[in-house]
Structure 1
Amino acid sequence: MSKKDQTPDRLDVTLAGVRGHKGAKKTPFDGDPRSLWRVNQYPSPFTLEDAPTRKKVAFKGKKDDGEDALAERAEMLADLQELMWAHVVSASEVDQREVAKAIAARVPRRTPQEKARREELFSPAVEEALGKLARGPRVLLVLQGMDAAGKGGVVKQVVTSMDPMGVEVVGFGKPTAEENREHYLERVIRKLPRPGHVGVFDRSHYEDVLVPTITGSESAEELERRTEAIVLFERELVRLGFVVIKVMLHVSQEEQLDRLVSRLDREEKHWKYDPSDADARAEFSRFQEIYAHLLEATDADHAPWHVIGADRKWYSRLAVQELLIAAFSDLKLRWPAADYDVEKERKRLLKS
């Protein structure tokens, strides 16, 4: 699907006033982060065996270099997040309309065929909930991966460099009895970030396809319907102003084993281990096949999948950070102009 999508020219932010902006075009990676880890660069059908787990793709430095870059670029990420919030609360109506139109242009306008398909795949409650969402730019980072792939570490070291008041981290586990009576997308919509905010799904709406596929609780036809529904759902999010970044943290079976065993070796990590982790390892190859199929089926230029090698934790965190920086830099934002006389206010303050 993504190979057929056409994306408008990417947008560039006006970086004056953002820490590190003079080196903004000099990403630590040799190449554009938007394409370095994309699923669509691999032959079809995609298989995770083709994607490296330990290779430092496009990064020539060592671990210390990567950790230094992670710390240095964190300031820039924080400022870009603040810039998005400033745009939402203070930008002129003209600027807000321009940004909204540019984001929405990343997906085709809704056709009668899409509308009819949505009526089949969505429920009235889902359509109503989508219709109530406020419009405006916000970033949604979707994190998926096997147990111990490092999703929590990305949240702790990358996401927390931003203002916590502007970040909403949620995860989707087993649905409750009440949620099972709803359309599966309803609980997802309730957790979406508001305009100006960054949302992180540490496990996401993709669980509603992955888990039933493994357990066999849904038919193949229903799983195909859910996969198609996700594609249409993410299109609508982009129309509403969402910038969607989807990351599969790709850990090797050997590295995963080391990390899980280390949880048993350390008393303070016992809480992170679950006996079901061993059961999942027995299905490792099957999980990989299911992930590969789902990633390729739902990859699109407006909601791309990036498969990042996660055997080196510092590398995967740096890569996700650069994806976030690139996403903010594509929003064509600028600091809102003051609607008061700056010099007059300066004099008033100095006299106070």
Structure 2
Amino acid sequence: MPKDTQNPAPLEVGLSGVRGPTGAKKTPFTGDPRSLWRVTQFSSPLTLTEVHTRKKVAFSGKRKDAERAMGERAQLLADLQELMWAHVVSAPEKDQREVLKAITARVPRRSPQEKARREQLFTPEVEIALSRVTRAPRVLLVLQGMDAAGKGGVVKQVVSSMDPMGVEVTGFGAPTPEEKREHYLERVIRRLPRPGHVGVFDRSHYEDVLVPAVTGSHSEEELESRTDALTLLERELVRHGFVIIKVMLHVSPEVQLDRLVSRLDREKKHWKYDPSDADARADFNRYQEVYAQLLEATDADYAPWHVIGADRKWYSRLAVQELLIAALADLNLRWPAADYDVAAERKRLLAS
């Protein structure tokens, strides 16, 4: 299945209303955050052992500098998320149609070949579920990584700076007995963020390929089919207005071991440890191989993969924050103009 490797350009749509937040280009990184960690910059086939886990790509500061930058940029991120919500709720229908049209243009039109492949891979229930997804802008941040890579920290330190009412966080564990009886994509579609929201998948639909590939529970043909299904799903989501950002937090085995052991050494952290963590760590190298294959196979301009070194948690958090800021700023939205007489309403309020 062909894939594109260029970053999507900012939307060029003439909208009414008030100009949105500025400052997205004043990034603390010396480079475009949309490109700094793209999987396409590495040699192919991708070998994750050759990708730095501790290097501060395009950032010359120290931890305190990163934490200061995060604090300064947090309000911008919150404002951009609020702007997306305001657009969905209050922008004129014409503006909403134009923005949605521009987002959907990031993916190719559905071809006969794609239609035939969907008929092979999607059940009628999956197609029905997708048909019920509202067409409107929203962001989906996909976080993947080995245990203790820092996914939870990203949610706590980065995502929490936005209005909790506009954020939806979901974690995907092993499917329940009920979920095993349905198509594996159905539970994913049920947990998609609502229009105007930022959704975070702390582990995601990629687990449905990653884990079976490592454990050997599925054939190569089944794994290839599932990989194609993920690509087709993401194409359809973009056609519904989704902005997709996919991040692999890349931690070294040495740092991962330190973090896992520290959970056992601290009683307050015992809840974060699971005996299965040791099993997964025993397959660390195999996971790296499968991750590399999966990242390359499913990277696309409309759903890009970013590999961010996670040995320094503060660095990976700053990087994810900038990816979110860039993605939201690229929508080039405007605050909806008031559809009432502002002066008259002000006068009425002061007289009340």
**TM-score interval, smaller chain:** over 0.9
Corresponding residue for residue 285 of structure 1: 285
CA RMSD of superposed structures (Å): 1.5
Corresponding residue for residue 211 of structure 1: 211
CA shift at 1:24, angstroms? 2.7
| C-alpha distance in structure 2 between counterparts of 1:3 and 1:239, whole Å | 16
Corresponding residue for residue 113 of structure 2: 113
CA contact (8 A) 1:42 1:50 kept: no
Corresponding residue for residue 182 of structure 1: 182
Corresponding residue for residue 95 of structure 2: 95
| C-alpha distance in structure 2 between counterparts of 1:31 and 1:320, whole Å | 14
Name the aligned partner's letter for residue 331 of structure 1: L
Question: TM-score normalised to the size of structure 2?
Answer: 0.96
CA contact (8 A) 2:20 2:83 kept: no
1:130 aligned onto 2:151: no
Which moved further from structure 2: 119-128 or 341-350?
341-350
SS of residue in 1 equivalent to 2:143: strand
CA contact (8 A) 1:2 1:300 kept: no
CA contact (8 A) 1:7 1:106 kept: no
SS of residue in 2 equivalent to 1:245: strand
SS of residue in 2 equivalent to 1:213: helix
CA shift at 1:262, angstroms? 0.7
1:246 aligned onto 2:249: no
**1:169-318 to 2 correspondences below 5 Å:** 169-318=169-318
SS of residue in 1 equivalent to 2:332: coil
Deviation digits for residues 167-193 of structure 1, max 9, x if unmatched?
110111111111111110000000001
| C-alpha distance in structure 2 between counterparts of 1:4 and 1:200, whole Å | 24
CA shift at 1:317, angstroms? 0.4
CA contact (8 A) 1:37 1:308 kept: yes
1:330 aligned onto 2:330: yes
Corresponding residue for residue 144 of structure 2: 144
> How many matched pairs?
349
CA contact (8 A) 2:5 2:40 kept: no
Question: TM-score normalised to the size of structure 1?
Answer: 0.96
SS of residue in 1 equivalent to 2:173: coil
| C-alpha distance in structure 1 between counterparts of 2:12 and 2:214, whole Å | 41
CA contact (8 A) 2:170 2:201 kept: yes
| C-alpha distance in structure 1 between counterparts of 2:238 and 2:45, whole Å | 26
| C-alpha distance in structure 1 between counterparts of 2:66 and 2:313, whole Å | 10
Corresponding residue for residue 84 of structure 1: 84
| C-alpha distance in structure 1 between counterparts of 2:45 and 2:178, whole Å | 37
CA shift at 1:206, angstroms? 0.3
CA shift at 1:12, angstroms? 6.8
